[in-house]
Chain A
Amino acid sequence: MMYTSSMLLSIVTFVYGLAGLLYIFSWAFHKEGAGKAATWITLIASLGNVAGFLLRWHESYQLGSGYGHAPLSNIYESLVFFALTIGVIYLVIERRYKNRIIGCFAMPLAFFALAYASFGTSVKIQPLIPALKSNWLIAHVFTCFIGYSAFALAFGVSIMYLLKKGKEDPADSGLLFRLPRSEMLDELTHQLIMFGFLFLTAGIISGAVWANSAWGRYWGWDPKETWSFITWLIYASLLHFRLMRGWRGKRIAVLSIVGFAAVMFTYFGVNLLPGLHSYGAMKG
Chain B
Amino acid sequence: MVQESEIKGNYFESLWKFFASVKLTVVVLLSLAALSIIGTLIPQNESPAEYFRAFGPFMYRVLATLDIFDMYRSWWFQGLIILLTVNIIICSIERLQTTGKIIFTRNPKFNLGNYRRRKSRKDLVITGEIGAALDFSKNVLAREFRFCKVQSAADGFAITAEKGRWTRLGVYGVHLSVVILLIGSLVGSLRGFEGYANIAEGEYTDTIQLRFKDGTLKLPFAIQCDDFDVQFYDTGAPKEFRSKLTIIENGQAVLQKDIIVNDPLRYKGINIFQSSYGKLDGQAGAANITGEIELGFQSKTSGMTYNIKASMNKPVEIPDGLGTFVLDKYYPAAEFRGMAVGPAFQGTLTPTEGKPFPVLLPVRFPKFDSMRKGTAVISVLQTGDIFEQRYFTGLQVTKDPGVSLVYVGFIMMILGCVVTFFMSHQQVVVEIQPKGKKVALMLSGKANKNKVGFQYKLERLAEKLAAIDLTNR
User: Is there contact, CB below 8 Å, between A130 and B241?
Assistant: yes
Given A66-B239, A205-B413, A215:B25 Cβ within 8 A = no
Bound CA–CA A66/B400 (angstroms): 33
Within 8 Å of chain B (Cβ to Cβ): is A217? yes
Contact B262 A130 (CB under 8 A): yes
6 A-B pairs with CB atoms under 8 Å apart are: A126-B237, A209-B407, A223-B40, A233-B30, A240-B22, A274-B42
Q: Are A216 and B26 in contact (CB under 8 A)?
A: no
**Does B2 sit at the interface, judged by CB under 8 A?**
no
A10 lies within 8 A of chain B by Cβ: no
- Asked if A216 contacts B396 (CB within 8 A), the reply is yes
Q: Can you name 12 extra interface pairs (CB under 8 A) apart from A226-B36, A226-B37? A: A130-B239, A130-B261, A130-B262, A194-B422, A198-B417, A205-B414, A212-B403, A217-B194, A229-B33, A241-B26, A245-B26, A274-B41
CB within 8 Å of A: which of B241-283? 241, 260-264, 271, 273-275
Please, which residue of chain B has its CB at the minimum distance from the CB of A262?
B33
Hey, which chain B residues are within 8 Å of A205, CB to CB? Answer: 410, 413-414
The reply to whether A221 and B410 contact each other, CB–CB distance below 8 Å, is no
Q: Are A214 and B262 in contact (CB under 8 A)?
A: yes
Known A130-B241, A237-B30; judge A214-B273 contact (CB<8 A): yes
Given contacts A198-B421, A208-B410, A216-B396, contact A66 B32 (CB under 8 A): no
Do B233 and A66 have beta carbons less than 8 Å apart?
yes
Closest to A193 in B: B421
Q: Which 8 A-B pairs have the closest CB atoms?
A: A216-B398, A130-B261, A233-B33, A194-B421, A244-B22, A223-B40, A237-B29, A275-B43
C-beta contact mask, A228-246 vs B, less than 8 Å → 1, else 0? Answer: 0110011011001100110
**B421-A195 in contact (CB<8A):** yes
Interface of chain A residues 44 through 84 with chain B (CB within 8 A): 64, 66-67
Q: Is A99 interfacial (CB-CB < 8 Å)?
A: no
A221 vs B211: C-alpha distance when bound (angstroms)? 14
| Cβ distance A60 to chain B, nearest Cβ, rounded Å | 13
Shortest C-beta distance, B376 to chain A (Å), equals: 51
Residue-wise, chain B 214-238 has the 8 Å CB interface mask toward A (1 for contact) of 0000000000000000000111011
Write out the residue numbers on chain B whose beta carbons fall within 8 Å of the beta carbon of A194: 421-422
Q: Is the CB of A127 within 8 A of B233?
A: yes
Fill in one digit per residue for B18-34: 1 if any A CB lies within 8 Å of its CB, else 0: 00001101100110110
A197 at the interface (CB under 8 A from B): yes
* A237 / chain B contacts, CB cutoff of 8 Å: 25-26, 29-30, 33
**Do residues B403 and A218 form an inter-chain contact, with CB atoms below 8 A?**
yes
Interface string of B32-65 (1 = CB under 8 A from A): 1100110111111000000000000000000000
Is A129 a contact partner of B237 (Cβ separation < 8 A)?
yes
Which residues 420-453 in B have Cβ within 8 Å of A in the complex? 421-422, 450, 452
Q: How far is the CB of A98 from chain B (nearest CB, A)?
A: 12
For B406, the closest partner residue in chain A by CB is A218
From A67, A131, A223, B262 is in contact (CB under 8 Å) with A131
CB pair A133–B261 under 8 Å, yes or no, is: yes
Given contacts A209-B410, A240-B25, contact A214 B72 (CB under 8 A): no
Q: Which residue of chain B has the shortest Cβ distance to A143 in the bound complex?
A: B414
> B33 touching A240 by the CB < 8 A rule?
no
B237 cross-chain contacts in A, Cβ below 8 A: 126-127, 129
Q: Distance (Å) between the CB of B368 and the closest chain A CB?
A: 39
Residues 182-222 of chain A, each 1 if its beta carbon lies under 8 Å from chain B, else 0:
00100100010011011001100100110011111111010
Chain B CB within 8 A of A179 CB = no
Cβ of B123 within 8 Å of any chain A Cβ, yes or no, is no
Q: Do residues A130 and B30 form an inter-chain contact, with CB atoms below 8 A?
A: no
Asked if A226 contacts B40 (CB within 8 A), the reply is yes
Q: Taking A127-B233, A237-B30, A240-B25 as contacts, is the C-beta distance between A270 and B40 under 8 angstroms?
A: yes
A75 → B minimal CB distance (Å): 16
Whether a CB of chain B sits under 8 angstroms from the CB of A142 is no
Task: Tell yes or no: B207 within 8 A of A by CB.
Answer: no
Q: Complex formed: what's the CA distance from A216 to B275 in Å?
A: 9
Given A130-B260, A212-B403, A229-B36, CB of A240 within 8 Å of CB of B418: no
B179–chain A nearest beta-carbon distance, Å: 15
Q: Is A227 an interface residue (CB 8 A)?
A: yes
Q: Return chain B residues, CB-CB under 8 Å to A131.
A: 261-262
With a CB–CB cut-off of 8 A, which chain B residues contact A201? 413-414, 417
Q: Give, as a whole number of angstroms, the nearest-CB distance from A230 to chain B.
A: 5
B305 within 8 A of A: no
| B320 interface residue per 8 A CB criterion | no
Judged by a CB distance under 8 angstroms, whether A273 is at the interface is: yes
Task: Report chain B residues within 8 Å CB of A233.
Answer: 29-30, 32-33, 36
CB distance B407 to A240 under 8 Å? no
CB distance from B250 to the nearest CB of A (A): 25
**List of B residues within 8 angstroms of A134 by Cβ:** 262
B469 within 8 A of A: no
Bound-state CA distance A227–B274 (Å) is 26
Contacts of B41 in A (CB 8 A): 273-274
**With A198-B417, A216-B273 in contact, do A221 and B262 touch (Cβ < 8 Å)?**
no
Chain B 341-370 interface residues, beta-carbon cutoff 8 Å to A: none
Residues of A close to B25: CB separation below 8 A: 237, 240, 244
Contacts of B234 in A (CB 8 A): 64
Chain A CB within 10 Å, residue with most, of B40, B260, B422, B452: B40
Of A195, A221, A229, A270, the most chain B CB neighbours within 10 A belong to A221
A187 to B396, CA, bound (A): 48
**Alpha-carbon gap, A216 to B238, bound state (A):** 21
Task: Give chain A residues whose Cβ lies under 8 Å from the Cβ of B44.
Answer: 221
User: CA A280 – CA B337 in complex, angstroms?
Assistant: 47
Residue B463 interfacial (CB < 8 Å): no
Q: List which A116-157 residues lie within 8 A (CB) of chain B.
A: 126-127, 129-131, 133-134
B276 to chain A, nearest CB (A): 11
Q: How far is the CA of A240 from the CA of B418 in the complex (A)?
A: 16
Residues A226 and B39 in contact, CB atoms below 8 Å apart: yes
B240 within 8 A of A: yes
Q: How far does the alpha carbon of A126 sit from the alpha carbon of B235 in the complex, in Å?
A: 8
- Out of B32, B39, B263, B273, which one reaches A215, CB within 8 Å? B273
Residue of A nearest to B456 (CB): A96
Verify B264–A213 contact, CB threshold 8 A: yes
Contact of A214 with B261 at beta-carbon distance under 8 Å, contacts A130-B239, A209-B407, A237-B29 already known:
yes
> Whole-angstrom distance between the alpha carbons of A214 and B264 in the complex?
7
Contact partners of B422 in chain A: CB under 8 A: 194, 198
